[in-house]
Amino acid sequence: MVGNRNTRSLAKSVRFMSAMLVAGSMLLSACSPKAEQAASEGSGSGSGSSGKQVTLSVEVFDRGNSPSGYTIKDNYWTRWVQEKFGTPNQIQMNYVPVPRSEEVEKLNVLMASGGDVPDIVFTYDSSTFYRYALQGGLTDLTELIDQYGPNLKKFLGDEVLNYGKVEGKLYAVPAKRSNLGKYSSFIRKDWLDKLSLPVPQTTDELYSTLKAFKEKDPGGTGGKVIPLGMTIAPAQYEPLIWSFIKETTEEQKYTLTQQLGSRDYPILLPGFKDALQFMNKLYNEGLMSRDFGLDEDKKKMSEDISTGKVGFFSEDDTNIYYADGTYETLQSNVKSAELQAVDVYTNEKGEHAKPEYAPVGLYVMIPKSSKHAVEAVKYLDWMASGDVLFNMQTGVEGENYTMKDGIPVALENPTEEAKNRMFNAGDMTLITNGQQLGSPEKNKEAKALQFPPKYQDGAREALKISNSDTVPPVLMDRPIEAQAKYGNTLLDKFNEMIVKTTTVKPEQFEAVYDSLMKDYMASGGQAVLDERTKVYGEMKSK
């Protein structure tokens, strides 16, 4: 199974790099002197100065879910935007569909086309954004946003805008995340009650609780009890691992962190080895899912939770609370089952350390070849003004939502017309990832209210936990090329290290850990460390 996963990852990596090479060579032609002159002319004039109508092309995800009467290019919100923004500004809005499942590949083709690329494009992939910026394929927005984006700057703030910068220049408008929390943990409260045990508050107390679950089997599983549900997906192992990471200096944080894909990995930080050794202890004492290394998609763990075998697990903060989700299925199978959100794993300072999301979702970019950079910035700025974003995210009051204590709550049974209106609303609001209501507290409450009423209090507690004692990602001032080059390989090596060091006999742990760490460093880990150390030194010298 692991070998198959590596093969798939390698094949995906080869396809991705091939596409990047094609796009990279063609981007050079898109950034020719002629293209740069056109971009310069476009950036220097707005629609209002010429008095002529212009066409602003905007990429939009096509998820293949357009309801009857609507298309991705022509629907309630495209018409609304045209009426409220386009027509008053003499701008004809044009939407360019891109299949969500082929986001990066199609974007590469668009970018390579030069003059046919939309004026506004976007990606979730930071490596793709950095590559376009370094190849000269993007418009420098530093001065444009100062001049035409006051609402946008205020809405995003410096922390978010910094993620769109490369070596001090702004090349992307980052979409602002509404909730930075990632993970919560959950325990079978009914099992605790049956054994007259308190809710554990620390890692040591959790260990004792897990042993009690195994020895006394309060769920009556007939020996099939799984005290700790585990997979090889980040939501399960990250809360455990990060709680073992020791306090670090600024230099250690910047240089020893390894970013693979969109996540920071603490593989070189002090305490990482201790985390793996603890996992090894849990596994060898029969306190953890036996085949967790094969459960990359979390299906086996979800099945075990739903059938009442798992006593404790970590998960994406509110993931279990969806209608017909894991918790509801568990309660349909085991009537007395009760899950309680808990914050248990503790570090050396007594904190429940866990990573948080970067404050950025999409990277919204304006290609260098665009002749309408001004209009593009004006469009994004308009979206951040007044109640535009609120309207686009919530729809029509009384038809799509009602207000409850200042929070819009979606109607449980909207009309077909009202439901169809919102099918692509999330993809139209490019400047945000998640609902924005003016404060993190309101954002979290709005998210809790999305769940069935019986689970809303649990969702509130899980959101509180996921946003407590969080470790923010480390932002370098320019991309680390070695991370992009070796990232896929290193991620496979990282997963292999977790699985093998966890499942070996305790007396073999040291030798296996040393061997796998040596392999990891030789496979690109050392190159990442060297480059991050060099970039950090240059950042400090500025």
What single-letter DSSP state applies at residue 199?
P
Residue in this structure with the two tokens 């966890």, named with its chain if needed: 502
Instruction: Answer whether 138's CB lies under 8 Å from 368's CB.
Output: yes
Residue listed under structure tokens 């609120």: 390
Mean pLDDT of the region 117-127? 92
Per-residue tokens: 122: 């976007």
Q: Is the pLDDT of residue 3 over 50?
A: no
| Element (DSSP H or E) covering residue 346 | none
Q: Are 126 and 174 in contact (CB under 8 A)?
A: no
Residues 125-156 as b/e (b if ≥16 CB within 10 A, e otherwise) read bbbbbbbbbbbebbbbbeebbeebbebbbebb
> Is it the case that residue 49 has pLDDT exceeding 50?
no
pLDDT confidence tier of residue 340, bands split at 50, 70 and 90? very high
Phi/psi for 431 (5° steps) reads: -90, 5
324's CB contacts (< 8 A; 6+ apart) are none
Q: Quick one: which H or E segment has residue 180?
A: none
Please tell me the pTM assigned to this model.
Answer: 0.86
pLDDT at 249 over 80: yes
| C-beta of residue 410 within 8 angstroms of C-beta of residue 447 | no
| Tens-place pLDDT, residues 469-482 | 999 999 998 889 99
Q: Is residue 104 very low, low, confident or very high in pLDDT (cuts 50, 70, 90)?
A: confident
Helix axes 2-30, 126-134, angle to 10 degrees: 30
Q: pLDDT value at position 16?
A: 39
Query: What share of the chain in percent tops pLDDT 90?
Result: 83
Q: What is the C-alpha to C-alpha distance for residues 75 and 67, in angstroms, rounded to an integer?
A: 9
Instruction: Flag whether pLDDT at 20 surpasses 70.
Output: no
Enter the tokens of residue 288: 């953890």
Residue-wise pLDDT tens digits, 181-238: 999 999 999 999 999 999 999 999 999 999 999 999 999 999 999 999 999 999 999 9
* pLDDT tens digits, one per residue of 273-317: 999 999 999 999 999 999 999 999 999 999 999 999 999 999 999
State both tokens at 326. 């894991």
Structure tokens at 209: 């609780």
CA dist., res. 231 & res. 288, Å (int) = 10
Q: Which tens digit of pLDDT belongs to each residue from 382-403?
A: 999 999 999 999 999 999 999 9
Q: Tell me, what's the pLDDT at 484? A: 87
Query: Is the model's pLDDT at 39 over the cut of 80?
Result: no
Is the pLDDT confidence value at 156 over 80?
A: yes
* pLDDT bucket at 17, cuts 50 / 70 / 90: very low
pLDDT at 8: 37
Collect contacts of 80-83 with beta carbons under 8 A, ≥24 apart.
80/391, 80/392, 81/428
pLDDT of residue 50: 54
The DSSP 8-state label assigned to residue 493 in this structure reads H
C-alpha distances (whole Å) from 308 to each of 57, 191, 303 are 52, 10, 9
The predicted pLDDT at position 381 comes to: 98
Which pLDDT does position 115 carry in this prediction? 67
Label residue 27 by pLDDT band (50, 70, 90). very low
Work out the average pLDDT over 459-473.
97
Phi-psi region of 323 (alpha: psi -120 to 50; beta: other; left: phi over 0): beta
CA 190 to chain CA mean position, Å? 33
- Determine the length of the chain: 542
405, pLDDT greater than 70? yes
Question: How much is the average pLDDT of 52-67?
Answer: 94
Average pLDDT, the chain: 90
pLDDT of residue 537: 96
Beta-bridged to residue 129, according to DSSP, are none
Q: Which residues contact residue 76 at a Cβ distance below 8 angstroms, ignoring those fewer than 6 apart?
A: 70, 420, 421
